[in-house]
Structures are given as C-alpha cells and as structure tokens.
C-alpha cells in the first residue's frame, strides 16, 4: 500500500472520468490511500478534457463510452493539448481492437471494469512512475498496427529524435519491444537505476506522458524493431 503520511506535493493526482456516479464513487473509494489523491470527477469526455487542463492530474482513469465526447476522442484532445497526463482506460469492453485503438489514441494502459483494487493501485502508480502497464503481446499488437499502417512521426519529431543520445535510442527501442527496466539493464549491461533514469529522460525529451506512449512514438519513428 502507499505511504499514509505522503505530503500533498508527492501524491499522485488522479481524475476520474465515467458517466456513472456509482462507478466514480467506487473508484474514489478504491483509490483512498496515502500516496494517491482523487482531485476531480468528470461525467463526459468533454468535461474530462476541461478538468484535466484545469487540474493537471498525473493520471486520468477514463471510460470509453461516455456522452458528449467519448473516451477515445477525449484522449486525442488531451494529447493535442500536450498535456503530460497519463490516461488509463477503464472499460467494460475486452476487445483487443479497443485496446489497440486506445493506446494509439494516447492511453498508457487498458483495464476492464472489475479489476481488483490492488491491480488498479499498481496501474496508477506505474503510470505515474514511468513503468509499463501493457503486457508484451498487447504492446506488440499496437506496434504491429502502427508499422502496418506506415505511421510516421510528425515533422517536429525529427528534432526530438535528434535530442536522444545513442544510448537513449537503444533503450527506447527496447521499451518499444515491451522489455522491463530490469530486462533492458540485462541486455545493455547497465544498472536498473541507470535504465530508469534513461527512460525518464526519454519521456521528457519526447514530450510524451508515459512509457507506453514512448513506445508508440518509437513505432512511428521506426525504432521499434529488434
């Protein structure tokens, strides 16, 4: 569990986006721990975007099917606004295509409602801490789709790629293959702490919200291959 006495500035700030008040109430109850703070609730996608821009949470728990603007469109809007907020999709749909689309639109992870409290807490902490939320096969499905579609980075991304060191490109390529920090450390002969620092620098230089979106960026830049 989290540190019950965590000071406000060190807490993970979470926004809940779901059109069912009972679901939001349940999520708020599940997330009541010392190192996580629920800072707001939204009932529509449009409201979620507005609140995220106002509150700048670390993580948004986002449903897909919502009135006004759905979760996918809301995520796309969030990313256009360059918000460094990680989005975790929490939905009733188990379809792999929904998962792939969610990640392509900007999600850090994808979970089905009914997920355990422990899994949800771990996911929120992982998203906020730059750790991976996707299973390797799911990340591979996302990368394969992007490669098949011939997805490319935007022109301004060339400068971001140039800003990465050779080692950071190596680390990013392995991140895109779904390797953990521990596995990357073993492959490259580095300490886990050094890899963690590289991943943090990569996320910052690319201007993405989390590890998953760094992998998506890598796929679009052609760095996802072994």
The full set of domain ranges for the chain reads 8-129, 154-220
Residue 158: per-residue pLDDT: 64
Give me the phi and psi of 190, to 5 degrees please. -115, 165
Q: Which residue has the tokens 């993580």?
A: 59
Task: Let me know if domain 8-129 sits in CATH 2.60.40.2220.
Answer: no
CA distance 185 to 190: 5
Q: What six digits make up the tokens of 157?
A: 């991304």
Q: What is the pLDDT along the chain (226 residues), one digit of tens a residue?
A: 444 556 666 899 999 999 999 999 999 999 988 899 999 999 999 999 999 999 999 999 999 999 888 899 999 999 888 778 999 999 998 888 889 999 989 999 999 998 999 999 999 999 888 788 888 888 888 888 887 776 665 555 667 788 899 999 999 999 999 999 999 999 999 999 999 999 999 999 998 989 999 999 988 887 776 5
137/199 Cα distance (integer angstroms):
21
Residue with tokens 């394969």: 144
Q: How many CB atoms lie within 10 A of CB 5?
A: 7
Query: Do 207 and 154 meet the contact criterion of CB atoms below 8 Å apart?
Result: no
Fold agreement (8-129, 154-220)? no
Residue 53's closest CA among 13, 17, 23, 82? Answer: 82
> Are the beta carbons of 90 and 61 closer than 8 angstroms?
yes
What topology is assigned to 154-220 in CATH? Arc Repressor Mutant, subunit A (1.10.10)
Q: Is the pTM of this model over 0.75?
A: yes
Alpha carbon distance 219, 216 (integer Å): 5
Query: How confident is the model at residue 214, as a pLDDT?
Result: 92
Closest CA to 144 of 215, 69, 94: 215
């Amino acid at each position: 569990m989290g540190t019950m006495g965590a000071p406000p500035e060190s807490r993970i700030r979470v926004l809940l986006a779901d059109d069912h008040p009972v679901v939001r109430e349940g999520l708020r109850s599940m997330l009541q721990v010392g190192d996580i703070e629920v800072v707001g609730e939204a009932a529509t996608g449009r409201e979620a975007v507005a609140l995220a821009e106002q509150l700048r949470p670390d993580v948004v728990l986002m449903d897909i099917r919502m009135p006004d603007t759905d979760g996918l469109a809301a995520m796309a809007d969030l990313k256009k606004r360059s918000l460094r907020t990680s989005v975790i999709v929490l939905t009733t749909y188990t379809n792999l295509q929904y998962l792939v689309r969610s990640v392509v639109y900007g999600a850090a992870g994808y979970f089905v409602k009914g997920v355990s409290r422990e899994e949800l807490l771990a996911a929120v902490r992982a998203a906020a801490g730059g750790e991976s939320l996707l299973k390797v096969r799911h990340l591979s499905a996302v990368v394969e789709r992007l490669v098949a579609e011939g997805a490319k980075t935007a022109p301004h991304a060339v400068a971001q790629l140039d800003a990465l060191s050779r080692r950071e490109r190596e680390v990013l390529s392995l991140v895109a293959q779904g390797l953990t920090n521990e596995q990357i450390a073993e492959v490259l002969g580095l300490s886990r702490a050094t890899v963690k620092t590289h991943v943090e620098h990569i996320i910052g230089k690319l201007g993405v919200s989390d590890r998953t979106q760094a992998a998506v960026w890598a796929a679009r830049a052609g760095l996802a291959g072994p």
